Amino acid sequence: MGVKVSYDQLGNLSTQLKSVVDEFEHAGSRANDLRDDVGRPYGESELRDLAGDFEGRWDDRRKNLMESCKAVAEYVDDVLEAFKDFDQDAASKFDEKGGQR
């Protein structure tokens, strides 16, 4: 029984995870945008304040999720590199023996 590894799929996964991390890293700088977008409907600031409270609570969770995504991306990169190294090593040993088993 063998293991089939798609380098393209692992590479795409790594790229997508890094994109998510990048989005999370820049999301915090847009916190004021959320409050500004909410504004002060009918001259009231309660909704704006609630949006700010939500953003503050979400900020901590976003940081934790971002760190987890970074870790998974690193694991994916490590797995991809390990399989590539294994393939190259196995191919060179196969070639050294003249393609014999």
Q: Kindly state whether residue 1 falls inside one of the protein's structural domains.
A: no
Range of the domain at 17: 7-94
CA distance 76 to 64: 18
23 in a structural domain = yes
Average confidence (pLDDT) per 10 residues, the chain, 101 residues: 83 94 83 75 85 83 92 95 91 75 52
101 in a structural domain = no
- Rounded CA-CA distance 53/47 in Å is 10
> And the tokens for 64?
């934790």
Does residue 2 lie within any of the structural domains? no
* pLDDT of amino acid 94: 80
In a domain, 17, yes or no: yes
100 domain-assigned:
no
User: How many domains would you assign to the chain?
Assistant: 1
In a domain, 30, yes or no: yes
Q: Is the sign of the CA dihedral 65, 38, 32, 18 positive or negative?
A: positive
> Residue 47 corresponds to which tokens in the numbers above?
């909704």
Q: Give kind and range of the element (H or E) at residue 69.
A: helix 46-96
